[in-house]
Chains A and B, each alone.
Chain A
Amino acid sequence: MKYYDKLIFELSEEGRCGYSLPENRWEDNTDSIPSGLRRTLRPNLPQVSEPDAVRHYTNLSDMNFGVDTGFYPLGSCTMKYNPKINEEIAGMAGFQGIHPLQPRSTVQGVMKLYGDLSAALSAITGMAAFTLNPFAGAHGELTGLMIMRRYHICRGDMKRTRVIVPDSAHGTNPASAAVCGLEVVQVKSLPDGTIDVDHLKTLLDDTVAGIMMTNPNTLGLFETRIEEIADLVHACGGLLYYDGANMNPLLGVARPGDMGFDIMHLNLHKTFSTPHGGGGPGAGPVGVTKRLESCLPLPRIDGEEPEGNAGRVSGFMGNFGVLMKAYAYILMLGKQNIRLAGPLATLNANYIKESLKDCYRLPIDRVCKHEFVFDGLAGQSTGVTTLDVAKRLLDYGFHAPTVYFPLLFHQSIMIEPTETESKETLDSFIEAMRKIAVEAATDPDMVRSAPHGTPVRRPDETAAARHPVLKYSLTAKSI
């Protein structure tokens, strides 16, 4: 990676253009619009040639690290390989030209994809039906909670306004609940990160709309008492929501629908291999059991508009382009290979954990699923922190793990390798982590000042927040 300092605005010169458009063949143009409705100043957008623009963005891409660049052990993000056939299919010209409001009779291929994909997701998760409309995991959570509320409201059960969320949950869980108008009640975790069932019992009453859980949880541990939890929550009239962020290790092993979950979302950009795109577009389909099917949002795959529907959460029917990629992946795996995905992801995680637990503190020492958490270096006398280890990893050509999450530990390093990484890749990562542990003891200043070989080094986040510069301007040029 080499440092490249330009912004597109700095390449701009009056009179350059990067477009090719037909000559105006019409009598009228926008100058006929009443002047009171027109903007007064021309927008200060860049004026660049096509080669300059292409070179600029190519140079920017050279400062980026993706799954195709190297190993991305980012906990809770499931950075598996993104198969190239997915991209080719989503790029097929025929699919790109379809208007979302075309009558269904003209989009039978699209509707077949919606039907086939939702059926496949049902088979994989054990849920009865899906909506493919939500655009992301967090959007799926929000949609799922809307379904939960709608279900209770339709039954006339108006007082269920509380939702139980484990203290170890992803931040989106309580945030989605709050946006959905639900009061968040935290249930405690035991020292191993699983839910404290005794504490849960004290929270359950007729004001509980439901509980949000991941399984395996954020520490990569299976909630072994899930059946008991499901019985308790159902007995009090609540519903169980499954956050599908951690679904990957269960491919081929277990299904949320069989554990008693009523509503769930999947992150197609995690479990189903669609690229993360630097933060979207993703897709967060939501599955429900039979009794909640009428609550799925509009527009629905079945074309119905049942009275109990949760409303509309998206302009149209979700990120169709992403849905195609996920189904291409499912077809490639088929019923045979999908059984291997979860177990191999789990094997990779355990292999790293066991290979490093002598140099990094392992607060919970037992088999993990797809991911696990270290609590910093085993030897902490030199004061090298988790942040330093993460930054030093960049020098060795790896993306850093998720750090300082979950909040249960002070120096969390959360590692998720996924099933698409080879033993050789894992071995080289393990070797780098071991070297860093040695460096932390012998040359701590060097680790604390890492990274040393990246285009920029520890940008000043405090200054960025204190004096926000959020757009290009003459003053931005001088910083």
Chain B
Amino acid sequence: MAFAYFPHTPDDIGQMLRRSGVSSIEELYSDVPESLRFKGEYDLPDAMSEDEVRRYFEDLDRRNARLTVFCGAGAYDHYTPAAVKHIISRSEFQTAYTPYQAEISQGTLRYIFEFQSMICELTGMDCANASMYDGPTSAAEAMLMCTASSKKRKKVLISSSLLPNVIDVIRTYTGYHGVQLDTIEISDGVTSISDLQLKLAGNDVAGVLVPGINRYGIIEDLAGFADAAHSAGALLAVYSDPSSLAVLKTPGEWGADIACGDAQSFGVPLSFGGPYVGFLACRMELMRKLPGRIVGATTDLDGKRSFVLTLQAREQHIRREKATSNICSNQSLMALFVTVYMSLMGPDGLKKVNDLSYGGAHYLHDRLLETGKFAEVFDRPFLKEFVLRTSIDIPTLQKALLDNGFFGALRTEEGYVSFCVTERRTKAEIDAMVGVIDAIG
């Protein structure tokens, strides 16, 4: 019966049963009613050796197509420096629990503190939490923060130009929580400030969420949004691609009260959508409404600089049924991932990632227009992602790309096609994809 993960020998079991005062393991389950005992055989595969398990996954791997990615829509193919993967695979980080015992968790606590600091630096906010599950859930929690901060208001407004999955998750959370949700119209590819002002006029809105870069890849000009929200007594939250914040105006500079988004763009592998890592940051006045873990600096008995989980009175295990968020664990190891990434990149590396992505995306954009098969939809600034109209039948276009190993031309709800270029895409790859499109009859 020996099995690699179970150290018990028959002799161990015998001795342990004697100490436990029972004659069989069965007896330890004497309180489980006979009628509830599972007596059959589990409908599971037979136990495998490691090599057999590896073969199972190698077989899975072969069933997936290997594609060169020219899509974004909330998941971006940025490069992962080798050192990042090396650090997050250290078992001292990987096999630790939430850092409740500060004395033997200073490693985790310190990187979370660094993560919070870097998120604040990028977003222009005063405080950040230890991370969220992903971008869409961080946005939903941002909306619940707004209503929790308001005495009476139970309504939030979100821009229709947010990514569809962000809108859907917010709709789910607010719907069950009893928060009224309304959307702000899009005008010429961006959030309509006049529609926002109209919908704020009732002075009944707790919070507003708009994207920094929207579902069409357009960089939104958020001038006037904070004033509009604040003068109607509402908070402003901005949903950002944090990688872009190395060059773009920060939520703080736009006057926002809350910043949220997905930090997957910091080199986190696409990995079919997870694990990623959300972030949530806010102005000091909202600190006590921020959900999740927060790490703070302090000193120990000997006066040494130390870090601890702090402000726990906010959290679910204290507030229980009075809680406005139930998050406890987050995506800690992925917070370490992006912290190491940001450390290696620094301000110049991040700028360079954005420059390369921008340059490649604009090159592809222009090459596609040159084919004569695409037309501009919006004449607005974009960073690494853009939409076009196409005269090609979209399924035909998508199939031609897939057949040639490219994943591009994601169809939007409006019937446009969307493309994304990161620093990983070479000129040869772009030219090859455009060549495929050129060849479509």
B370: which A residues are within 8 A, CB to CB? none
Q: Which residues of A contact B427 (CB under 8 A)?
A: 25
Residue of A nearest to B273 (CB): A316
Q: What's the Cα separation between A253 and B67 when bound, in Å?
A: 44
Cross-chain contact B355 with A29 (CB below 8 angstroms): yes
Q: A96-B270, A321-B274 are in contact. Are A79 and B97 (CB under 8 A)?
A: yes
The listed residue (B54, B296, B300) touching A85 by CB distance below 8 A is B54
Total number of residue pairs linking A and B with CB closer than 8 Å: 705
Indicate whether A306 reaches chain B with its CB closer than 8 angstroms.
Answer: no
- In contact, B47 and A332 (Cβ under 8 angstroms): yes
**Closest partner residue, chain B, to A77 (CB atom):** B97
CB pair A280 B331 closer than 8 Å: yes
The reply on B113 being an interface residue by CB < 8 A is yes
Q: Mark interface residues in A309-326 (1 if CB within 8 Å of B CB, else 0).
A: 011111111111110100
Contact code string B339-361 (vs A, CB < 8 Å = 1, else 0)? 11011111111111111101110
CB <8 Å contact, B407 and A102: yes
The reply on B151 being an interface residue by CB < 8 A is no
Interfacial chain A residues near B175, Cβ < 8 Å: 311
| Contact across chains for A149 and B134 when beta carbons are under 8 A apart | no
Taking CB atoms, residues of chain B closer than 8 Å to A459 are 102-103, 298-300, 306-308
Taking CB as reference atom, which chain B residue is nearest A309?
B172
B69 lies within 8 A of A99 (CB): yes
Question: Is B108 located at the chain interface by the 8 A CB criterion?
Answer: yes
Q: Given A254-B36, A255-B38, do A276 and B96 touch, yes or no (CB 8 Å)?
A: yes
Contact of B60 among A18, A21, A110, A319 (CB under 8 A): A110
Q: Bound complex: CA of A227 vs CA of B33, how far in Å?
A: 9
User: Considering the complex, which residues of chain B in the window 182-241 have a beta carbon less than 8 Å from any beta carbon of chain A?
Assistant: 219, 221, 223
Q: Which residues of B contact A112 (CB under 8 A)?
A: 60, 63
Asked if A377 is at the interface of the complex by the 8 Å CB criterion, the answer is no
Interface size on A, residues (CB 8 A): 208
Whether B44 and A338, one on each chain, are in contact in the complex, defined by CB atoms closer than 8 angstroms, is yes
A351 / chain B contacts, CB cutoff of 8 Å: 16, 19-20
Report how far A165 CA is from B321 CA in the complex, Å.
10
CB of B7 within 8 Å of the partner chain: yes
Q: Which residues of B contact A25 (CB under 8 A)?
A: 359, 427
Residues in B neighbouring A469, C-beta threshold 8 A: 296-298
Docked CA distance A312–B137 (Å): 10
Tell me if B152 counts as interface (CB < 8 A to partner A): no
Let me know if B439 is at the binding interface, CB within 8 A.
Answer: no
Q: Flag whether A39 is at the interface (Cβ < 8 A).
A: yes
Chain B residue at smallest Cβ distance from A100 = B273
Q: B352 touching A85 by the CB < 8 A rule?
A: no
Collect the chain B residues with CB atoms within 8 Å of residue A33's CB.
219, 247-248, 358, 381, 383
Chain A residue at smallest Cβ distance from B103 = A454
Q: Is the CB of B63 within 8 A of A109?
A: yes
Residues A47-80 near B (CB distance < 8 A) = 47-48, 50, 53-54, 56-58, 60-69, 72, 74, 77, 79-80
Q: Is the CB of A456 within 8 A of B102?
A: yes
- Tell me the A350-392 residues at the B interface (CB within 8 Å): 350-351, 353-355, 366-367, 369, 390-391
Q: B301-341: which have CB < 8 Å to A?
A: 301-302, 304-308, 310-313, 315-334, 336, 339-340
Which of chain B's residues has its CB closest to A353's CB?
Answer: B20
**Cross-chain contact B67 with A109 (CB below 8 angstroms):** no
Name which residue of chain A comes closest to B106, CB basis.
A63
Docked pose: A453 CA to B375 CA in angstroms: 68
- Other-chain residue from A69, A95, A255, A269 in contact with B271 (beta carbon distance below 8 A): A95
* A458 contacts chain B at the CB level, 8 A cutoff: yes
Contact check, A146 vs B176: say whether CB atoms are below 8 A apart: yes
Does the CB pair A174–B36 fall under 8 Å?
no
For the complex, what is the distance from the CA of A123 to the CA of B362, rounded to whole Å?
51
Give A391's nearest chain B residue, CB to CB: B103
Specify the chain B residue showing the minimal Cβ separation from A341. B6
Q: A64-B96, A171-B316, A465-B310 are in contact. Are A227 and B248 (CB under 8 A)?
A: no
Identify 13 new A-B residue pairs, CB closer than 8 A, beyond the known A65-B92, A88-B54: A22-B356, A109-B64, A139-B137, A226-B33, A332-B4, A340-B3, A343-B29, A367-B28, A423-B7, A449-B301, A463-B298, A464-B310, A470-B126
Top 7 closest pairs, chain A to chain B, by CB: A26-B359, A316-B273, A334-B47, A277-B333, A100-B273, A171-B317, A311-B172
Pull 21 A–B residue pairs with CB atoms less than 8 Å apart, ordered by A: A21-B423, A26-B363, A36-B223, A37-B381, A40-B249, A43-B122, A53-B340, A97-B67, A99-B272, A123-B44, A135-B331, A165-B321, A226-B36, A277-B334, A280-B131, A315-B137, A315-B166, A316-B272, A322-B275, A333-B5, A456-B306
